[in-house]
Amino acid sequence: MEIAFAKLLNSAVINCILSIQGVSSPSEDHLKLVKSASLSEMLHASEMVEMYNESADDGGPIFVTTTESAIADLFLRLRSENYFHPDELVEACQAFDDMNPDTLNGHGMMIDGYGNHSLIELNHGGDGAVKTVAQASSLQELMDKLHAALEHPICLN
């Protein structure tokens, strides 16, 4: 891989990662480039740019790089609409805990043997459900329902 392409790919990867955090919006060209790249290409580009010795006028580094896990996370997100980082699932449960402070032991997520995804109110022991708060046939559908309910609190069932 040539350094010029590595710089371009790394820039596109960083731009897409920042957009996930709500900091920027990726261009169509960046998104297309990142979607067409393999995970090994993205990791190699990041490594090349990190080792590339070019500095800005003030002597500081000119390129931003990130961790391998952040690149892998981006790679998975772009290839599966059902991929969510575990922290996002925890945050969704915590948001419902905050909305419903009188629950026994907070909220959790459950996937049954048929592939249904549910947000449940946990029992005292945290090992069972008092009730099902929301249910969907995919994780993406469940997260969409949860985000909508958090924006406009309504009955989910």
* DSSP characters over 75-126: HHHHH-TT---HHHHHHHHHHHHHH-TTSSS-EEEEE-TTS-EEEEEE-TTS
- φ, ψ dihedrals at 107, nearest 5°: -125, 155
Residue spans of the domains in the chain: they are 3-79, 86-151
Average pLDDT, the chain: 83
Query: What is the pTM assigned to this prediction?
Result: 0.61
Tens of pLDDT, residue by residue over 8-44, are 899 899 988 888 777 778 788 988 999 999 999 999 9
